[in-house]
């Protein structure tokens, strides 16, 4: 069973892209894997943690 994935296309400054790709190459890591890791960390650190206030708000607005 394969994991579904989707392409995210974005524009960045050429100098930033070149620096990023060079660092990834020097660390022997695919740039796409680094980006996936960064996105995962960003999402995990910005997810709302369930707490009593969130639960009450959810239940009230159902």
Q: How far is CA 59 from CA 9, 40, 52, in A?
A: 37, 28, 11
State residue 2's pLDDT score.
77
1 near 7, Cβ under 8 Å?
no
State residue 50's pLDDT score.
67
Number of other CB atoms surrounding residue 31 within 10 Å: 14
Q: What is the DSSP string of 23-34?
A: HHHHTT--HHHH
pLDDT digits (tens, 9 = 90+) for 12-23: 999 999 999 999
Q: Rounded to whole angstroms, how far apart are CA atoms 12 and 18?
A: 10
pLDDT digits (tens, 9 = 90+) for 7-58: 999 999 999 999 999 999 999 999 999 999 999 998 888 887 767 776 776 6
């Amino acid at each position: 069973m394969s994991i579904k994935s989707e392409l995210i296309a974005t524009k960045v400054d050429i100098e930033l892209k070149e620096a990023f790709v060079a660092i990834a190459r020097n660390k022997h890591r695919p740039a796409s894997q680094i980006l996936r890791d960064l996105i995962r960390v960003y999402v995990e650190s910005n997810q709302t943690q369930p707490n009593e206030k969130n639960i009450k708000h959810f239940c009230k607005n159902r």
